[in-house]
Amino acid sequence: MPKLLCNIAIVTCLVLVSIAVIDIDKNCSEKFNSTIKDNIDVLRQYPRGLADEYMWKLGDRFKKPLKNEPYPVLTMALDRHTYRLSQGLFESFQIKVLSNTQYGGEIKVVVFDIGLTRRQKKVMQDAGCRCEIRKFQFQEFPRHIKNKNLQAWKPIMIMLILVEYGKVLWVDPSIRFKSRYLEDLMEVYKKYGVVFRTNPTTKLVHQTDNNLFKYLGEDTCKFQTFKMIYTDCLALYHTPESLALVKSWVTCAFNIDCIAPETSRIQNVAQCNSNAVTGAMCHHFEQSVFGVLARRIFHKHHVYPFSKVLDDLVYANATNDDVQYFEICGALNCYL
């Protein structure tokens, strides 16, 4: 049983732990292993494919972070199309989190440039994004990493920051902050290594190509009960467990038949059916992969106990608000 935390929101989550631990694979021919360590050993036995040709570029040999940051490094990827949407993210982060004097403006922000224009980068920095913009080197990795629909670059970026700084708060540009406080998040991720958000209604197996399970050598039965995991906002703290999870995620990302089985490449993702009764109706690439890996490790909790920690901190902006934080956007100027 996890220790009792003082924050009321966390206590509520821990109550979920006490009522949600169930034997979800009792009717399946294959079972999850009983300990986190044993399940991580399963992750390490998944096919490696091309991964060993590239993992060294991400610092996989380092067992400890290269630097020490007091707070999680806010990390994102932007191109010329998502730049406009990111203005709402930066505004909410500045107003909610950076305005909190207890952090002293010490939260580092890293933006991976996956297609920003020179003008956009200058506007961001001139407007005070307080961010480090890093050009992502697509040419260093397999060709499919550049396919933005797969978002195979996301686990690579997260591993780079986790290895360098030991603490990551990944956000998609659609994320908005609604709380000023990171303490609950930091306390939980230090203990468990990772904090993620879950979809309360959609099943993981309905949103994951069956051929991903086959590639990994997993049956789908023991995953049937789990809900989809969101990867639009993830928090990770450098532990042996979180590093093993991220390395497995990256390993899959380097192999197109893992992150994007051939059947998933020919279907129309826009036609995803979250109400499917049997079988996968679509595939969410890096998000589906992360869901399988994380559920392999955290399978004892049908309701993941700490989703609320992130839900209290952020929300996903489904309406695409048109915040004009860096600049006023006309019909075209923000894309130039």
Contact between 111 and 119 under an 8 Å Cβ cutoff? The reply is: no
The model carries a pTM of 0.88
Per-residue pLDDT, 24: 46
Half-sphere exposure of residue 141, counting CA atoms within 13 Å on the CB side? 25
Closest C-alpha among 278, 297, 295, 276 to residue 287: 295
DSSP assignment of 17-39 equals HHHHB--TTTTSSS---SSHHHH
Contact between 234 and 262 under an 8 Å Cβ cutoff? The reply is: no
State the fold for domain 15-321. Spore Coat Polysaccharide Biosynthesis Protein SpsA; Chain A (3.90.550)
Per-residue pLDDT, 238: 96
Closest C-alpha among 275, 304, 290, 189 to residue 231: 290
Locate the domains of the chain by residue range.
15-321
- Which are the contacts of 314, defined by CB distance < 8 A and separation ≥ 6? 171, 175, 176, 177, 178, 179, 233
Mean pLDDT by 10 residues, the chain (336 residues): 34 26 61 92 96 96 92 97 94 93 90 97 93 97 95 98 98 96 93 91 90 95 92 96 96 97 69 52 91 91 74 85 85 80
Going by their DSSP bridges, the two strands 175-177 and 109-113 should be labelled as unpaired
Contact between 125 and 133 under an 8 Å Cβ cutoff? The reply is: yes
